[in-house]
Structure 1
Amino acid sequence: MKFLRLIHPLRRLLAAGLALSLTLSLAACGGGGSTPDLHNSSVRPLSAQFNARKAVAYSPYRTAVNEAGLAAETIPEANIKQDLELLIQAGFGLIRLFDSDDKVGRGTLQVIRKYNLDIKVQLGVYLQSGNEGFNQAQLSRAADLANSYSDIVLAVSVGNENMVSWSLNPISPETMAGYLKTLRAKISQPLTTDDNYAYWAGAQNSVVTDQIDFASLHTYPELDTVFVDKLWDWRQTDKPATDRAKAMMDAAITEARRQYQLARDHLNQMGRADLPITIGETGWNAVDVGKLKFRAHPVNQKMYLDRLAAWAAEGRSGAGPKAVFYFEAFDEPWKQGDDKWGLFNVKRQARYAIKDLIPAAQWVPSGDASEPATASLSDADAVYFQPAVINPAVAQDRYVIYADATTSSELREAGLQFDPFVKTFWQSVADFAPGDGPQALEVEPKPETWGWGMLYQSRSEVTTNLSGYANGSLRFSIKTTYPGKIEIGLISDTADRVQQEAYLQIASGSYGYVNDGNWHQVLIPVADFVSKNPKLDLSLILGRFVLADRYAYTGNAAGSDVKLTIDAVYWNK
């Protein structure tokens, strides 16, 4: 199964950590390495059309909702034609494709030729770590397509983020160099490989750079803020609130330029000042799909795109990248937590970033709960960092999540509810814990491949100050035969507005939990959650109670849908 852009939270964590180490130590890295057989001898120049055209990453998938659905999705010619016509309408004349398969690579090129569309292509070659047969087939198809559509294909890229040290689809530089050399002998177009800037800024030898005509670099300042919070100052708290959004987006493009310059300087040190650099991927989320509050928004996406356009114009006429491929044209729901990068949503409705180029009838309409209507937005709606507001501490002895029995000193907060991580189901049942009738909550897991979960929260992200329970406990009754461990968690906001989570993996026999099918009361000291994650802020609690099983953390076998009945859930001083 191919990935059009391999993404994983761990990947970003490792990426950002490497970014920080590069900032501190890049000056110590050297070039050197193998004897070149291309360097300074026959570098193929990027064409004037490649440099001049506005560029975007393109994938035609629409209906797949997960990775497994990609192979089954049929991509009609009419869909590709509609997509490309929209991109032309939005001013784009150069697209990056990620593979040379018949469905995407050949299918897109056929549509461009058949309808004489004014679109040029950087063709991709998708590689699979350890799958030589697959990789050689991709290389052969790429050579065929590059030659058959030489009037359309302006450049070819082999691989995608395979050599950076944190790659989840790793291919060694030596193996990559072999693939590049093989393909270069069969085509006439300039050749590259796409990778994160950290690879280009730290390449230890010239084995790859000796085989390419330009370096295609990826930079994601927005995502860097998630995993290395202080890599660049996105909060801009020294600015007044009215100036903070602009200051953040100015700082974001400054960080992208810095990452580019690290790569440029390192290539120069390797003796490759002649090697052009393009930005093969960069983008900004229009919608927060997790951990990007105060950053992801349609207006901020436009602000980043506008700044990229100015940078791209500089590169065409002087120093800087010779092309900038925006990531991406259209949303791809199959990526789930890595979606909402598109200038268009999956329904091919235009977001704010390109509204001036697309008729209003084709904008994101009102009524979409996941994002604001394009027509409702203005530049003033850009999001920016806002300090957390700490509410008065709950004074009562008991803070109730779910219980029938009442006490004289308790708080039952309005506006809160249980929500699933994805599809977990629950219902009230008459089988209740001793002393807490007449009902309890029966939870039926609907597991995904990674697990399942549910949490008690405010959908508007109102926090509760439960700092008074620091020496208290979280208590609940449970009846189940669920196999293996369960997870109980808390989620908080923080002063820096970076959400923190603390999950405890609880085995039968711990904290009073027993999975024998009888009722048992579980009592967890709140201090144990804080010990698990000292960054958890009890004065800014968002997820007041989380019940889950994430298999990577519990070690449980995947797929159990054994029901769990819970009752009398509350914090106690």
Structure 2
Amino acid sequence: MALGLGAALLLSACGGGGTTSDQGSGASPAASASGLRALPAVFTTAKAVAYSPYRTATTDAGRASEVITDVQVKQDLDLLVTAGIGLIRLFDSSDKVALRTLRVIRDNALPIKVMLGIYVNSFENASDPVVRARAQADNEDEMARGVTLAKTYAAEVVAVSVGNETMVSWSFNPISTVAMAAYIKTVRDQVPQPVTTDDNYAFYAGFARNAAEQPGEVLRQIDFASIHTYPMLDAQYSDTSDTDLLPDWDWQQLGVTDLTKRAAASVDAAIGKAQTDYARARSYLDKNGRANMPIVIGETGWKGADSGGSALYKFQAHPANQKMYFSRLLDWALASRSNNGPKGIVYFEAFDEPWKGNDDKWGLFTKDRTARCAAQALNPTATWTKDSTACADSNALYFVPPVLNAALTTPRLTIFNESVTGWPAGMRADAYETGTFNLIYPNTGDSAPSDLGASLGASNFLQLDTFTPKSYGWGLLWQSSSTPAVSANLSSFANGSIRFSVKTAYAGSLRVGISSDTSLGAVVESFVLVSNGNYGYCSSASPGWCDVTIPLSAFQAANPKLDLRYVLTRFSISDVYTDTGNTDATGKPAIALDNIYWIR
């Protein structure tokens, strides 16, 4: 178990060697790059897509257990050939995917080349030495498989990429630049193909994790830069009014008042954002002695359908928008390859991958291998199964500002008390996921003493019990019952509070929340934790009713982007363990709620 990074460097070297820098490892970042292996012509001549064969898996665990066959891979690759795809990017060197795909290509003489991936996992932040050593050993095994594939299938593999999004600041799989450079060198010393590492453009533009994690050492080990740019995703964080260094883009295009042209203007702006991302990476490389190093866009894409996860997708995710973006990418690639533009663009991705959850629906084809509009445009006469969505640009989505309703002028917005029969008009109660608890509405025989409707002589309250949480916890929210959702203008309550009565022996904190739309069309959420002694909350083995009062200012402080003019979730109560610090367990005590309202 004492395997370390050094062991990887002891793998036998053959087929490669050398360095991309005149002065080798340890040289200054400005060292010139004359030892670059040439980028194969297929990058500049062929359409390229990222490929993964998974069809049925809906979770990562399901992906691990899904059986992939040669027949399925052959069907996939035949579709790509029909679409005119000549280059695919693979993300790992597994027998299950990479070996099978390469074998199918060779055995069937398919006109497809491969950019092979070697997927390495984070290990440096692991405190458990056993976990750390296992991750390093797994990485060494993966590199060994990748080297073998690159040599065995040298006619099919035209480039090798070691690692995927490991060095950008937000990486969920962080690996230091020192470790990555060593991994890349280990592989490059043993293969004849040009080698790179795939990462977000920000890393290649010098926006690394910190001053010690700049790209210099990595640049000395690679033959070309493979950068990722996702304008559609970056729109979620784009703020054209701020002064930070990250390039924003006007995805809304409100200045385009002719609504028949707004979608096209937004996609044009997205291409402009991708070009800006590329230009920043190009400038950084040029200034650091890598003017001769080619850049490939290793990932970029557009969702063909709304997978959830971002409220902005309702303005962007559509097959027609995807077709517009893909078409413009091809135009950019064709126009720029002969000058200072990217030498190739790998579109993400060939087929949808349901196991990715909210990060699904990027495919040119659905999981069922139905061709979306962008794929259909590549070969209009193909006989494949086609998505029935109208593909004309006129069907593309575009941003429409949220409707600002009249401000509520009553002193109180009641969500539940004795006077409420059924949910309040325009609202409904939804669990985060069904089956995580039982909601009794109403329960009888008890009522909070402070219930504003108690004068009606009833004794109703709400009860949550029989909890069967998910791995993250559980939650209940009151939101608009309309589709699309209708927001409430509660701006007049800004100096008021949310109040409710609770009776429970539930251990630990609970999370109370609200959400709103914004003028940008992006839903934001705000949560406040309640625990014994704060905001009037109480929980005990022999519980009694207590009244909780949370100022609206606490929610606004928790998320300053909250906009009370566009309130969507009027009230939620949940136990999300990453926030509350509670643990996943069944048999949690019941929670009684009553007298829930906003007050000015």
Measured against the shorter chain, the TM-score band is: 0.7 to 0.9
Q: Secondary structure at the match of 1:543?
A: coil
Does 2:416 correspond to 1:402? yes
Alignment of 1:119-130 (within 5 A): 119-130=112-123
| Structure 2 unmatched ranges of 5 or more | 1-24, 124-134, 209-213, 241-247, 448-453
Contact kept in structure 1, 2:461 and 2:592, CA below 8 Å: no
Following the alignment from structure 1 to structure 2, what is the Cα–Cα distance between the partners of residues 180 and 149?
A: 19
Contact kept in structure 1, 2:371 and 2:384, CA below 8 Å: no
Following the alignment from structure 1 to structure 2, what is the Cα–Cα distance between the partners of residues 265 and 47?
A: 23
Alignment of 1:126-145 (within 5 A): 126-130=119-123, 131-145=135-149
Contact kept in structure 1, 2:50 and 2:88, CA below 8 Å: yes
Following superposition, the deviation at residue 306 of structure 1 comes to 1.0
Contact kept in structure 2, 1:176 and 1:208, CA below 8 Å: yes
Contact kept in structure 2, 1:143 and 1:187, CA below 8 Å: yes
Following the alignment from structure 2 to structure 1, what is the Cα–Cα distance between the partners of residues 272 and 465?
A: 48
Number of aligned positions between the proteins: 530
Q: Which residue is 1:291 aligned to?
A: 311
Q: Which residue is 1:523 aligned to?
A: 549
Alignment of 1:3-14 (within 5 A): none
Q: Which residue is 1:367 aligned to?
A: none
Cα–Cα, structure 1 residues 378 and 155, in superposed 2: closer, same or farther, change >3 Å? Answer: same
Following superposition, the deviation at residue 443 of structure 1 comes to 5.3
Following superposition, the deviation at residue 425 of structure 1 comes to 4.2
Q: Which residue among 61, 71, 74 is the counterpart of 2:67?
A: 74
Following superposition, the deviation at residue 546 of structure 1 comes to 1.4
Does 2:180 correspond to 1:152? no
Does 2:529 correspond to 1:505? yes
Q: Which residue is 1:254 aligned to?
A: 272
Residues 343-378 of structure 1: CA deviation (Å, up to 9, x unaligned): 2222222222223337587234xxxxxxxxx33453
Contact kept in structure 1, 2:30 and 2:288, CA below 8 Å: no
Contact kept in structure 2, 1:473 and 1:524, CA below 8 Å: yes
Following superposition, the deviation at residue 253 of structure 1 comes to 0.6
Following the alignment from structure 1 to structure 2, what is the Cα–Cα distance between the partners of residues 348 and 166?
A: 32
Q: Which residue among 355, 361, 370 is the counterpart of 2:376?
A: 355
Alignment of 1:429-440 (within 5 A): 431-432=443-444, 433-434=446-447, 435=454, 437-438=459-460, 440=462
Alignment of 1:20-419 (within 5 A): 34=27, 40-130=33-123, 131-202=135-206, 204=214, 206-230=216-240, 231-240=248-257, 241-288=259-306, 289=308, 290-292=310-312, 293-356=314-377, 357=379, 362-364=385-387, 374-406=388-420, 412-414=424-426, 416-419=427-430
Cα–Cα, structure 1 residues 472 and 41, in superposed 2: closer, same or farther, change >3 Å? Answer: closer
Following the alignment from structure 1 to structure 2, what is the Cα–Cα distance between the partners of residues 438 and 564?
A: 14
Whose Rg is larger?
A: 2
Range 510-519 or range 178-187, more displaced: 510-519
User: Counterpart of 1:412 in structure 2: which amino acid?
Assistant: P
Following superposition, the deviation at residue 446 of structure 1 comes to 4.2
Contact kept in structure 2, 1:312 and 1:324, CA below 8 Å: yes
**TM-score for the superposition, normalised by structure 1:** 0.86
Following the alignment from structure 1 to structure 2, what is the Cα–Cα distance between the partners of residues 194 and 68?
A: 24
Q: State the identity %.
A: 47
Cα–Cα, structure 1 residues 532 and 43, in superposed 2: closer, same or farther, change >3 Å? Answer: closer
Contact kept in structure 1, 2:440 and 2:462, CA below 8 Å: yes
Following superposition, the deviation at residue 275 of structure 1 comes to 0.8
User: Counterpart of 1:566 in structure 2: which amino acid?
Assistant: L
Following the alignment from structure 2 to structure 1, what is the Cα–Cα distance between the partners of residues 224 and 401?
A: 43
Following superposition, the deviation at residue 492 of structure 1 comes to 0.7
Following the alignment from structure 1 to structure 2, what is the Cα–Cα distance between the partners of residues 57 and 561?
A: 45
Following the alignment from structure 2 to structure 1, what is the Cα–Cα distance between the partners of residues 507 and 373?
A: 48
Following the alignment from structure 1 to structure 2, what is the Cα–Cα distance between the partners of residues 425 and 146?
A: 52
Residues 269-299 of structure 1: CA deviation (Å, up to 9, x unaligned): 1222111100001111223322324233222
Q: Which residue is 1:26 aligned to?
A: none
Alignment of 1:420-569 (within 5 A): 420-423=431-434, 424-428=436-440, 431-432=443-444, 433-434=446-447, 435=454, 437-438=459-460, 440-442=462-464, 444-458=466-480, 459-516=483-540, 517-560=543-586, 562=588, 563-569=590-596
User: Counterpart of 1:569 in structure 2: which amino acid?
Assistant: I
Following superposition, the deviation at residue 561 of structure 1 comes to 5.5
Range 436-445 or range 165-174, more displaced: 436-445
Q: Which residue is 1:8 aligned to?
A: none
Cα–Cα, structure 1 residues 485 and 306, in superposed 2: closer, same or farther, change >3 Å? Answer: same
Following superposition, the deviation at residue 159 of structure 1 comes to 0.5
State the Cα RMSD in Å. 2.7
Following the alignment from structure 1 to structure 2, what is the Cα–Cα distance between the partners of residues 486 and 355?
A: 50
Following the alignment from structure 1 to structure 2, what is the Cα–Cα distance between the partners of residues 360 and 457?
A: 45
Contact kept in structure 1, 2:376 and 2:386, CA below 8 Å: yes
Contact kept in structure 1, 2:194 and 2:223, CA below 8 Å: yes
Range 466-475 or range 124-133, more displaced: 466-475
Cα–Cα, structure 1 residues 183 and 531, in superposed 2: closer, same or farther, change >3 Å? Answer: closer
Cα–Cα, structure 1 residues 561 and 190, in superposed 2: closer, same or farther, change >3 Å? Answer: farther
Cα–Cα, structure 1 residues 455 and 287, in superposed 2: closer, same or farther, change >3 Å? Answer: farther
Contact kept in structure 2, 1:61 and 1:75, CA below 8 Å: yes
**TM-score for the superposition, normalised by structure 2:** 0.82
Following the alignment from structure 2 to structure 1, what is the Cα–Cα distance between the partners of residues 348 and 215?
A: 29
Following superposition, the deviation at residue 445 of structure 1 comes to 4.5
Q: Secondary structure at the match of 1:70?
A: helix
User: Counterpart of 1:137 in structure 2: which amino acid?
Assistant: D
Following superposition, the deviation at residue 39 of structure 1 comes to 5.7
| Structure 1 unmatched ranges of 5 or more | 1-31, 365-373
Cα–Cα, structure 1 residues 262 and 403, in superposed 2: closer, same or farther, change >3 Å? Answer: same
Cα–Cα, structure 1 residues 297 and 420, in superposed 2: closer, same or farther, change >3 Å? Answer: farther
Cα–Cα, structure 1 residues 386 and 320, in superposed 2: closer, same or farther, change >3 Å? Answer: same
Residues 206-250 of structure 1: CA deviation (Å, up to 9, x unaligned): 322222211101111121121232211112222213322111111
Following the alignment from structure 2 to structure 1, what is the Cα–Cα distance between the partners of residues 584 and 96?
A: 32
Cα–Cα, structure 1 residues 101 and 361, in superposed 2: closer, same or farther, change >3 Å? Answer: closer
Following superposition, the deviation at residue 531 of structure 1 comes to 3.2
Range 268-277 or range 234-243, more displaced: 234-243
Following the alignment from structure 1 to structure 2, what is the Cα–Cα distance between the partners of residues 87 and 486?
A: 50
Residues 100-156 of structure 1: CA deviation (Å, up to 9, x unaligned): 011111121122223332221100000012232111111110111111111111111
Range 199-208 or range 95-104, more displaced: 199-208
Cα–Cα, structure 1 residues 156 and 499, in superposed 2: closer, same or farther, change >3 Å? Answer: same
Following the alignment from structure 2 to structure 1, what is the Cα–Cα distance between the partners of residues 486 and 38?
A: 55
